Structure 1
Amino acid sequence: MADVLRLSGIRKSYGDLHALDVIDLTIPDNAYVSLLGPSGSGKTTLLRVIAGFEDPDQGSVALGGRPIDNVQAHRRGIGFVFQNFALFPHLSVARNIAYGLENREVGALTDRAAIRRRVGEMIELVGLAGLEDRGVAQISGGQRQRVALARTLVTEPRLVLLDEPLGALDANLRARMRAELRSIRERLGVTFLHVTGSESEALAMGDIVLVLDRGRIAQSADADTIYNRPAAPSVARFLNCYNLFEGTLSGADFVGPAGRFPTAGSPRLTGGKTAYAVRYDRIQVRPISSALATDEVGVEGAFIASEYSGAAVNSFFALDSGQVVEVETHLSHRPPAAYAPQERYGLVWKRDLALLFA
């Protein structure tokens, strides 16, 4: 698969803040790429450098094998969908979509019939038929999102950058727009680079998931690899589904404030500082009198509270070290257990389901 975008040695600082710290990255053509990271990790800065809104302090950007470092933003052939949509409030849906075709510097369309045809095709593609003459203040947030996407796609960019495009939508609409964005991208065969702070959104949408940590790419892989084999403790933390334990290795054991965990059989990963990770849904809650099997590891904790999220219940237990351990129980597996407040329970997992970073 050919690369549509290549970044080489990109650095960007604002005073003493290193927003981007040596970014080397290739993005394939015809792919949906999610860029995940917490606030302040450099996600939006990276998009702005790619789009040409910001100049890097160092490094180069190439699109389709052609350097574009000295090419102005509006001449790069890159589309940008802003989080706040950035629509023209005085124009109709159709006129918003047509604006880029009519006003671009190179190849502006003047043939009214051609403009109507292109805009009509895009309106059908994004599901806005019947709303062409509405003002953008007269349509819903999800429909405005589609207008912003259509306005970008109608100019046929090689790459589309989406800066948290679902952040302004309610939960139900976000879920629906995920599927629609993927479907639209697949029909057009263009690459989407979708920035988000939501781990579930990144994993659900990306053929490739990039995790950005303090201005560096911490991991680039498919969603299954990111979820099951995070490359570093920082990546596991961003995913918001792992209990992370601090400590050091002592022989074949991991030793920390939470206790001594035998590591034989636990996958070892090299990335970041030494840590031990267990996913929320890998832990069983048992009476403290229950014996451990030879392939199991366990700690004791006092029950604090549970949160119901529809498909699952997340329960929280305080260890003697003060750390809180989260346990996720999927309701499709078994009915939720009732735990007594402050009662002590055994928290048990299989050794081969834990990850050791060392």
Structure 2
Amino acid sequence: MLNLSGVTRRYGETVALEDLNLIVPDDTYMSLLGASGAGKTTLLRLIAGFEEPNAGQISLNGERLDGKAPHRRDIGFVFQNFALFPHLTVQENVEFGLKYRETGACADPKELTERAADALQLVGLDGFGHRGVGEISGGQKQRVALARTLVTEPRIVLLDEPLGALDANLRNRMCDELRAIRERLRVSFLHVTGSETEALTMGDTVAVLSDGRIVQADGSTELFTRPHNPAAARHLNAWNLLEGTAWAGALDTSAGMLPLSRPLAEGAAAQIALRFDQLGVSDLDAVPGGRSHFTARYVTGEFNGPTALSFFRAPDGALIQVVDHLGDPRLPELTEGRSYALHYAPGDALLFEGAST
């Protein structure tokens, strides 16, 4: 089990990570989701030993890691840009870590060859060992980088946006392959990404990094359907957040007075979260019974293949998004510039106390 407790990392006056706590259990695939600049790569570099925290502790299976040199931590790191040696063959790249590590180096040429070949077979590159790095595709380079990491049998594998340099089709295939490889090895993977879709697809558990802290770590379904706070909801790119002030049993927002799911003190700041796919759209005089609603002006739509996004503006200009699944369409024909009622089941709305930050 990897345990980060109270980890802080500063660069001068800039705080990248602050009092961060995170546990990566044994034998799990964890995704770490965060926006660009959130500190995701910094966190991986601290775990790997390329940087040291200003405060806090990092331990693996009870053994403290901070203060140890990177090559003594027994941690694998797969870089976003692959970081392969261009002058070596695929086989030689995979053998490198085994051959030159400080302890337990493998000097037997036969063993080196066999272990590297086994690692390449594991990632689906059996027979590619003789090729040069420049002779293989981006997806194959990613697999070589993974094989080079796995051949040393690390206790945990860190993946820094490993699919970012691949095209969409390759990303989808590598998602399946990475999960299958991890399950065969029974070693934990910590996979960093800025894509909410990738994080939810890959992770048994997804941790959301925001403002230098982990704001939620949960199973992918629980995180998507019940984010615990506005920061987690924003990172999922699936929730509209309407901020307002509690008044007379409702929340006074830019979209109007919306009912509260529980009592709040008069004047208290709060936010209501409404998921894109749980909002319906109707004419102003045709709101279905039993549903809460507010008025917004239709701006434009965006076709995304199996889904379509519709964009609305609240009276104060706040953008509201509604998603429709084309296999089971539910929205009416919309006219740009026209106002509609956006309605939802009261139980679908999440209430977060406090103002946005």
User: Which interval holds the TM-score relative to the shorter structure?
Assistant: over 0.9
What secondary structure, in the 3-state scheme, does the structure 2 residue paired with 1:247 have? strand
Partner residue, 2:250: 253
- Give the distance between the partners of 2:287 and 2:107, measured in 1 at CA: 78
**Mapped contact 2:255–2:296 kept (Cα < 8 A):** no
* TM-score relative to the length of structure 2: 0.95
Pairing 1:152-301 to 2, within 5 Å after superposition: 152-264=149-261, 274-294=270-290, 296-301=291-296
**CA 1:265/1:253 → structure 2, altered by over 3 Å: closer, same or farther?**
same
**Mapped contact 2:254–2:314 kept (Cα < 8 A):** no
**Mapped contact 1:245–1:256 kept (Cα < 8 A):** yes
Q: CA RMSD in A?
A: 1.5
- Give the distance between the partners of 1:251 and 1:334, measured in 2 at CA: 37
1:45-92 Cα offsets, whole Å, 9 max, x none, are: 111111000011111111111112221101100000000000000111
Cα deviation for residue 39 of structure 1 reads: 1.3
Cα deviation for residue 265 of structure 1 reads: 7.4
1:70-124 Cα offsets, whole Å, 9 max, x none, are: 2110110000000000000011111110111111111110111111111111111
Query: Aligned match of 2:336 in 338, 341, 348?
Result: 341
- Give the distance between the partners of 1:134 and 1:76, measured in 2 at CA: 31
Partner residue, 2:319: 324
Cα deviation for residue 336 of structure 1 reads: 6.2
- Give the distance between the partners of 1:349 and 1:84, measured in 2 at CA: 44
**Mapped contact 1:313–1:336 kept (Cα < 8 A):** no
- Give the distance between the partners of 1:193 and 1:118, measured in 2 at CA: 24
Query: Aligned match of 2:305 in 310, 315, 335?
Result: 310
Matched, 1:47 2:44: yes
Matched, 1:353 2:316: no
**Mapped contact 2:52–2:67 kept (Cα < 8 A):** no
Q: How many residues align?
A: 349
What secondary structure, in the 3-state scheme, does the structure 2 residue paired with 1:53 have? coil
**CA 1:291/1:170 → structure 2, altered by over 3 Å: closer, same or farther?**
closer
* TM-score relative to the length of structure 1: 0.94
The one-letter amino acid of 1:27's match is: V
- Give the distance between the partners of 1:344 and 1:69, measured in 2 at CA: 57
- Give the distance between the partners of 2:139 and 2:330, measured in 1 at CA: 36
Structure 1 gap segments, 5+ residues each = none
**Mapped contact 2:280–2:331 kept (Cα < 8 A):** no
The one-letter amino acid of 2:328's match is: H
Pairing 1:78-89 to 2, within 5 Å after superposition: 78-89=75-86
What secondary structure, in the 3-state scheme, does the structure 1 residue paired with 2:215 have? strand
- Give the distance between the partners of 1:209 and 1:108, measured in 2 at CA: 35
